[in-house]
């Protein structure tokens, strides 16, 4: 290295220059791709909601969403109502799917804040389902999902996703073998709310007992599974007052 | 005469065996433990590292004469992070599904010590072309180990390969499970990745005794 690159002045100038160039480059890229990324996220959200209520292109073991080109149409066709739930009240709002769950849960830390809960009402072949978005913590980062319930509060379908669970272990929550176990599970035990636990000891690996409020856990992903069960318990409970009124 | 001279070719072949970044230099172990529970994750990570390492080595090598030595590690870190973020953003906009698969690897790539190690040990002292080749070679060496470990962990741990049930169905008791075979769930946990890497190191050194360090 020459003398020049070792001087303090050069080091400071280089660092400053580098920060400006890299910062500008990334800011430019991020802002010019922003709309495209937002559009992709909207498509993904609609695909996930439809997936949960059973509108998908799955074959035997894959997870296939309805195609990007028709997702907007399909969403309008199958989702009959978008509601914003507060307590036992629900107001129709066709922008409900834009509500940011993360922001809402931060705002809800203020006791006076009336949390807005988005709820999607779908209708497939004459059968109504209520799709509840949920969000919680896994091992490394956020996990979230959509749970489709019928009016008896039995799960019709789920979709889970995660930001950064361990590949091959916790990341398996978005695989069919795990998600399909939830179909038909009850979230109530008689009149008490139980949620669905992710259990390592339920001795029911084939998941034949649908009323035990339990599904089989994934080996090596205890914390992701526990986080997922906690997420279901916490978030589904918030919708319970309203969902019970639908039930009657 | 091929495209690469003998010396350049060695840059690719050396890391595959006798100078493997994982088994000989013992770098990049953390990500080798974290993501090898499945073959598919190993392959995706290998491709991502191949890409970042080739381009990163190239960039650092081009900048090698102007990087102030006092802050060279920070500069290297910024180069890797910038590359990874650019790739992530572009994928999010134009290949969203692919970016979903890769998102969990982003953090692991930035902190992969093989990448920083090659920047420091090779790219800072060599020309762009040779650095690029060196990056590719080391990424391939990393990939080989990742794929071997991923293969055994998925096969013995879950009885599947790339998600296909090659050994039969453990719940329905078909295939080898009909004879009382059981998956070894322990293979899915990180300690078994370390043991698998250890076995590879053992096999490699017993075949080539010149690799054994003197005490």
pLDDT, chain B, mean: 84
List the single range of A234-248, B101-115, B199-213 with lowest mean pLDDT: B101-115
Distance from CA of B68 to the nearest CA of A (A): 5
Distance from CA of A188 to the nearest CA of B (A): 27
Q: Among B68, B102, B193, pick the best mutation site for testing chain A contact (most A Cβ within 10 A).
A: B68
Nearest to residue B191, comparing CAs of B41, B37, B40, B85?
Answer: B37
Provide mean pLDDT across the span B115-132: 90
Confidence of residue B2 (pLDDT cuts 50, 70, 90): low
Considering only residues 70 to 89 of chain B, which have any Cβ-Cβ distance to chain A shorter than 8 Å?
A: 70-71, 74-75, 78, 82, 85-86, 89
Residue pair A227/A234 in contact by the 8 Å Cβ criterion: no
Q: What are the 10-residue block averages of pLDDT along chain A, 248 residues in total?
A: 76 92 94 90 89 84 81 86 83 81 84 84 87 91 92 90 83 88 87 86 77 85 92 90 78
**pTM, to two decimals:** 0.75
Of A11, A167, A205, the CB nearest to B35: A167
List the structure tokens of A149: 């319930």
Residues of A in contact with B40 (CB under 8 A): 168
Q: What is the pLDDT of residue A26?
A: 93
Distance from CA of B144 to the nearest CA of A (A): 18
Do the domain assignments include residue B130?
yes
β-pair partners for A158: A147
Residue A69 contacts B, CB cutoff 8 Å:
no
SS (H, E, C) A104-163: HHHHCCCCCCCCCEEEEEEEECCEEEEEEEEEEECCCCEEEEEEEECCCCEEEEEEEEEC
What residues make up the domain containing B49? Answer: 21-151
Q: What is the pLDDT of residue A3?
A: 65
Q: What is the pLDDT of residue B215?
A: 61
Residue B104 contacts A, CB cutoff 8 Å:
yes
Indicate the domain borders of chain A: 4-37, 43-247
Question: What is the complex's ipTM, to 2 decimals?
Answer: 0.72
∠ CA B158-B161-B165, rounded to 5°: 70
Do the domain assignments include residue B141?
yes
Residues of B in contact with A205 (CB under 8 A): 171
Q: How far apart are CA B30 and CA B49, in angstroms?
A: 14
Q: Does residue B17 surpass a pLDDT of 80? A: no
List the structure tokens of A32: 């010019």
Do the domain assignments include residue B162?
no
Q: Does residue B74 surpass a pLDDT of 60? A: yes
Q: What is the pLDDT of residue A227?
A: 93
Give the total number of structural domains in chain B: 1
Nearest to residue A177, comparing CAs of B187, B192, B159?
Answer: B159
Would you tell me how many other CB atoms lie within 10 Å of the CB of residue A163? Answer: 13
Q: How far is CA A9 from CA A94, A102, B68, in A?
A: 58, 44, 10
Residue pair B138/B13 in contact by the 8 Å Cβ criterion: no
């Amino acid at each position: 290295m020459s003398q020049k690159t070792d001087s303090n002045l050069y080091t400071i100038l280089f660092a400053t220059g580098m920060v400006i160039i890299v910062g500008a480059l990334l800011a430019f890229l991020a802002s010019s791709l922003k709309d495209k990324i937002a559009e992709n996220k909207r498509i993904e959200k609609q695909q996930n909601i439809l997936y949960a209520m059973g509108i998908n292109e799955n074959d035997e073991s894959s997870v296939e969403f309805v195609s990007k080109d028709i997702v907007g149409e399909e969403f309008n066709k199958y989702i009959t109502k978008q509601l914003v739930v507060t307590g036992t009240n629900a107001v129709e709002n066709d922008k409900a799917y834009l509500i940011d769950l993360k922001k809402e849960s931060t705002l809800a830390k203020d006791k006076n804040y009336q949390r807005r809960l988005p709820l999607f009402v779908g209708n497939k072949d004459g059968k109504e389902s209520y799709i509840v978005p949920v969000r919680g913590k896994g091992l490394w980062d956020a996990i979230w999902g959509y749970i489709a319930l019928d009016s008896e509060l039995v799960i019709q379908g789920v979709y889970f996703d995660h930001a950064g669970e361990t590949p091959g272990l916790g990341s398996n929550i978005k695989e069919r073998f795990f998600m399909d176990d939830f179909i038909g599970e009850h979230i109530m035990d008689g009149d008490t709310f139980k949620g669905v636990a992710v259990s390592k000891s339920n001795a029911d690996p084939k998941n034949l007992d649908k009323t035990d409020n339990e599904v089989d856990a994934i080996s090596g992903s205890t914390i992701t599974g526990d986080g997922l069960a906690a997420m279901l318990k916490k978030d589904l409970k918030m919708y319970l007052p309203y969902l019970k009124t639908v039930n009657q | 005469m091929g495209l690469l001279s003998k010396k350049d070719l060695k840059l690719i072949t050396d890391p595959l065996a006798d100078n493997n970044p994982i088994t000989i230099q013992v770098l990049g172990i953390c990500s080798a433990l974290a993501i090898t529970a499945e073959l598919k994750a190993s392959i995706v990570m290998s491709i991502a590292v191949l890409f970042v390492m080739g381009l990163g080595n190239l960039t650092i090598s081009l900048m090698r004469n102007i990087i102030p030595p006092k802050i060279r590690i920070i500069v290297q870190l910024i180069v890797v992070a910038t590359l990874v973020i650019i790739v992530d953003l572009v994928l999010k906009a134009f290949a969203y599904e692919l970016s979903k698969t890769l998102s969990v690897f982003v953090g692991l790539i930035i902190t992969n010590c093989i990448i920083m190690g090659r920047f420091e040990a090779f790219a800072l002292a060599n020309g762009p072309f040779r650095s690029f080749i060196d990056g590719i070679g080391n990424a391939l060496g990393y990939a080989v180990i990742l794929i071997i470990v991923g293969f055994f962990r998925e096969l013995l741990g879950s009885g599947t390969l790339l998600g296909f049930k090659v050994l039969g169905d453990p719940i329905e008791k078909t295939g080898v499970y009909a004879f009382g075979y059981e998956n070894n769930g322990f293979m899915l946990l990180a300690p078994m990745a370390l043991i698998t890497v250890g076995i590879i190191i053992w096999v490699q050194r017993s075949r080539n005794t010149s690799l054994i360090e003197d005490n």
